[in-house]
Amino acid sequence: MSRSLQEILKDYRLLDDLIETDYPRASIVTHEDWFAEGQIEVIPRGAEIPLLGNVLYAFKLLLATKPNQALLLNQVDRAPQLAAIFNRLFMVRKRKIVLYDVFIDTPSKFKQLLVRWQVEGASINVLFSRFQVKAYVRRFNLPFERFAYIPYQASHSKRDPLDETYGDYVFSGGNSARDYRTLCEAARGTAVPFKITSTKKELFEGFEMPEEINLKPVVEPEFTRMMAGSRFVVMALTAGRDRGYGEQTILNSWWHGRAVVVADDVSASDYITDGEDGYVLDPEDVEGLRSRIVELYNDPAKAEAMGRKGREKVRNHYHHTHFLHRMKLITLALAAE
């Protein structure tokens, strides 16, 4: 039995009970081959042509999308960005578009305008937390029906988890929206060893690094090994954001059986059940962060139990296959409208 798009926007969990044949006349057009099974058509890119190639491919995606189809786009790629913009500016028959992974943070006024056109060019913008839906409605002055909350995936769940021995250090990593000043102040004086990996040195400027911190820029697969070999994972994010960050770090940490302690007021509370599979604190809460770090580090059994609960949560709700299914079904629901 199919569900209307309006029903799905109110509760994404309805997608889990749907199958593709609930929308027999609808289908999907996309640029991503990892959605390739089912009622879906992947449009080949063709020959690479610098600069012009993205423009041509954007129009190719739009022209391939028929009235009973919807276009599924990942905003991190240039051609999908252009497709959303062209749909907003040029297409007489507006294509139905689901756009996800929508980045909005840029100081450039011109780029801000391009982001607005992308958001306005999409029929549905998929966001990874409930707070983001409210924030984007306010920022872009668009109705609630133009945004959908669908949780993100543990990207590492495409392969088996690393069953590393629980280590004697706490892990933190990443570049986007990270507040390492708060994290370092929380670690200072605790005698809890940290391994932090980040490739942005400027995130550590303007304050003294405590002796507890071992900073080591690494790339995959070493990043994953450091995460999976830790006792638990800590992430401090900046305050005052509309867009979420770090959802994937939370979910991947759980996939490898690691509890999470996160200072964030955008997305973390939609994923973490405080006190069960991790802790959620407000951004810049140094004392609260320090307290949770010391508590979990001194209670390895509790940290391990939280990590196991997190892993089961991923298996049951945030696996890669869950994300694929939800994205396909919301796009089919849009196509069927």
223 shares a domain with 129? no
43 shares a domain with 9? yes
For residues 50-77, give the mean pLDDT: 95
In the sheet that holds 170-173, the strands lie side by side as: 213-215, 194-197, 170-173, 232-236, 260-263, 278-281
Q: Which of 46-55, 122-131, 273-282 has the lowest mean pLDDT?
A: 46-55
Count the domains in the chain.
2
Look at residue 282 and tell me whether its pLDDT is greater than 90: yes
CATH number, domain of 267, equals: 3.40.50.2000
218 shares a domain with 127? no
- pTM, full prediction: 0.94
202 shares a domain with 298? yes
Residue 281 and residue 268: Cα distance in Å, rounded?
A: 9
| DSSP secondary structure of 64-102 | T--TTEEEEEETTSHHHHHHHHHHHHT-SSPPPEEEES-
303 shares a domain with 169? yes
Span 183-235, pLDDT tens digits: 999 999 999 999 999 999 999 999 999 999 999 998 889 999 999 999 999 99
145 shares a domain with 41? yes
148 shares a domain with 65? yes
Are 166 and 304 within 8 A, CB to CB? yes
Q: What is the pLDDT of residue 324?
A: 96
The band of 153, judged by pLDDT with boundaries at 50, 70 and 90, is: very high
Range of the domain at 35: 5-153+319-336
